[in-house]
Structure 1
């Protein structure tokens, strides 16, 4: 009892200290300010556009020689009033996927099968729980580097969250395992058709060539991520007050703290059948994503059916299933709204027709650099562009037609130009608040972007350093 009181006092003192420290504004405020700044720039930056032409696999890309300035179309006050609703509409696929996955996993929790499964895993890994971090992070990275779906982190997080909490870690640890693993795999893109394949096609480079250097990047960056997550997880395990989300995780700790410690849980016959059917649905999900090109709309539809079928088999009443979906929707409401709010920034730049102007100007800056700095310059340009074009394939379609011929002019190989796009696009996906799936993942994990930023910044800067060194090496060896 005395120890509990001491912890409460320490917690109160810690929170008073935090109140005196500078705090980032609410994420709504940050994204609204970004949108407002974008609107102001539509009055300053000249409007321009590239001609759109057919690209690989029926996609639309740009003609890099076709840039022209056009009549200014600044975003006025009336137009600005609608950018947030239009952002929500444009990001509707991600927004509704966030709602549905939140609802579906709440239904699964109500069936009790997650609780029993976590109890069994917690007992099995009770004395070697730290091994879960390298194993899961590496598995998620391998999947992402082969099929290019970093968005699967949205599925991984609610699956591993109860187990991670039960083993004495926190929500950030669970989010980091899924997000860092998938983003490393996606970025390195050893055989990733979304960034490597498409980028190389647009650059006129043999598809999946240069695999050796990309594999080295994969190994180095995933190793850095694993050591970083383990270091944080050990601190949380040693003292829960070290968690950046200690207060936010209170309910989760209450829910899962006794898992693996009290009497072992066992599934009823109906729960066993429900668990088997749930695994079958996940098998269908993997097949659909890898073989049929399924994305968020198809996955969302599958999850709705999955929640209903698994719930009924487990013995839930129809009303209980509906309430489960409602509770899950409420849990991710804020995060789903943030996804649309983040999209509003791009809506403003598109309305003002300055997106192409920004891309053209940044490409010109790289062209003025000496060869030794051009590769690194391309990397930083791609990082900046990804703030407003957060789609990996969309980013490639806009930038690679410019960067590939530019690389020829400044003495950088096209293979290196593709790598600059991959590294500049990839890691920022779990850093920028304009990344839709990332903000949705944080919503599902119950982690505020500000808290995540505090956690991830050292690792992100490490990745940036690794990327810069890689670009220099690629340029020096004339990688092709």
Structure 2
């Protein structure tokens, strides 16, 4: 909200709208690739919460709806997360537990990333075509978002000071990526960093202390519902952990997987990790709980540890945008004003495609004994 009140976001949306006005469908692959690559490197699907308030006015101006905005944000970040190249919280941590070279096997995961994002682009392009044939859907979305003052129908120009502030935003964003990759910043640190971005950029753009504070308060009000949803979703995991139910569940699931034929054990691992994500939606938390069991299991059944980790990545990532216990996902659709039922109906065809893609990549990985060992 601080960035919005500096005028930078409005200016960016206005320029993007003009740039893609003659061929607006190009905005979908451009944004999807950009957001997914960012998440593939730093592993922060929670950035979907940051993208949605920016994407809604952009998509509305281009003739789409808020579902398209949420779709771009969540499909891009989830796709990048489930096929992450150097995500410290899932890939890096799992490699350490499995005693593999950290971030090894990135080439094969890059091929998975390409397949996942390509299918996401096709899915959203088909939805865009549907919107073009049903303009009433866009009108309804416009009516629902108008009261939230996401945008105003006018052209925007910015001053030299605001341009400098925009440059500071870009520099600080790359600083965040550097911090995550180099120092493994956690989400508390990232929260402080985002607060610093708002203060620094606000000052550079010419906002007073009172204006920055008021902007922060407005932004806080907008995401308060999402924050409450995240807390409730996390509460489920806390209850499961403290009551030691999680240990029983993972022990039982591991026995089921071990009884499967060797050739499809990896698919059992994929399903197990996906189901387990309902109880522990945290990627790093799930890695700490399940990897010490799944890695020895992979050794026993004759698949590689690298393949077992990939099964964890895909299963964890797929369920992140369908399970209501995933706090950032629920907060994102809440911020976009989309009900869970509507989202589930919208996304399930793509989830099926992603699941099939994941199965194919896992079976190939098992067949070629992919990985160091």
Do Structure 1 and Structure 2 share a fold, with TM-score over 0.5? yes
The whole-number CA distance in structure 2 between the counterparts of 1:377 and 1:350 is 23
Partner residue of 2:248? 357
Asked if structure 2 preserves the Cα contact closer than 8 Å seen for 1:270 and 1:314, the reply is: yes
The structure-2 alpha-carbon separation of the partners of 1:338 and 1:138, relative to structure 1 and needing over 3 Å to count, comes to same
Q: Specify which structure has the higher proportion of helix.
A: 2
The whole-number CA distance in structure 1 between the counterparts of 2:140 and 2:354 is 24
The whole-number CA distance in structure 1 between the counterparts of 2:340 and 2:361 is 28
Asked if structure 2 preserves the Cα contact closer than 8 Å seen for 1:134 and 1:226, the reply is: yes
The alignment yields a C-alpha RMSD, in angstroms, of: 2.6
The whole-number CA distance in structure 2 between the counterparts of 1:191 and 1:441 is 24
Mapping 1:122-133, distance limit 5 Å: 122-133=17-28
Residues 403-444 of structure 1 deviation map (CA, whole Å, 9 limit, x = unaligned): 111122223232222221111111211221111222233334
Q: Would you say 1:215 and 2:110 are equivalent positions?
A: yes
The structure-2 alpha-carbon separation of the partners of 1:115 and 1:415, relative to structure 1 and needing over 3 Å to count, comes to closer
The whole-number CA distance in structure 1 between the counterparts of 2:142 and 2:17 is 23
The whole-number CA distance in structure 1 between the counterparts of 2:51 and 2:359 is 30
The whole-number CA distance in structure 2 between the counterparts of 1:241 and 1:422 is 39
Gaps of 5+ in 1: 1-105
**Residue 144 of structure 1: how far off its partner (Å):** 2.1
Greater Cα shift, 401-410 or 233-242: 233-242
The structure-2 alpha-carbon separation of the partners of 1:471 and 1:273, relative to structure 1 and needing over 3 Å to count, comes to closer
The structure-2 alpha-carbon separation of the partners of 1:286 and 1:400, relative to structure 1 and needing over 3 Å to count, comes to closer
> Which of 161, 166, 169 does residue 275 from structure 1 map onto?
166
**Residue 323 of structure 1: how far off its partner (Å):** 2.9
TM-score of the pair, normalised by structure 2: 0.89
The whole-number CA distance in structure 2 between the counterparts of 1:244 and 1:217 is 37
The whole-number CA distance in structure 1 between the counterparts of 2:306 and 2:203 is 52
Partner residue of 1:336? 227
SS of match in other structure, 1:152: helix
TM-score of the pair, normalised by structure 1: 0.70
Gaps of 5+ in 2: none
The whole-number CA distance in structure 2 between the counterparts of 1:376 and 1:319 is 55
Q: Would you say 1:195 and 2:74 are equivalent positions?
A: no
**Residue 126 of structure 1: how far off its partner (Å):** 0.8
The whole-number CA distance in structure 2 between the counterparts of 1:285 and 1:212 is 24
**Residue 137 of structure 1: how far off its partner (Å):** 0.8
The whole-number CA distance in structure 2 between the counterparts of 1:196 and 1:306 is 28
Q: Quick check: which has more Rg, 1 or 2?
A: 1
Q: Would you say 1:117 and 2:8 are equivalent positions?
A: no
**Residue 150 of structure 1: how far off its partner (Å):** 2.5
> Which of 50, 54, 67 does residue 172 from structure 1 map onto?
67
- What is the aligned residue count? 371
Mapping 1:37-52, distance limit 5 Å: none
Asked if structure 2 preserves the Cα contact closer than 8 Å seen for 1:148 and 1:189, the reply is: yes
The whole-number CA distance in structure 2 between the counterparts of 1:210 and 1:309 is 39
> Which of 341, 365, 371 does residue 474 from structure 1 map onto?
365
The structure-2 alpha-carbon separation of the partners of 1:210 and 1:229, relative to structure 1 and needing over 3 Å to count, comes to same
> Which of 72, 75, 80 does residue 185 from structure 1 map onto?
80
Partner residue of 2:267? 376
**Residue 454 of structure 1: how far off its partner (Å):** 1.8
Residues 160-179 of structure 1 deviation map (CA, whole Å, 9 limit, x = unaligned): 33322221222222222222
> Which of 26, 33, 38 does residue 143 from structure 1 map onto?
38
Mapping 1:227-246, distance limit 5 Å: 227-242=122-137, 246=141
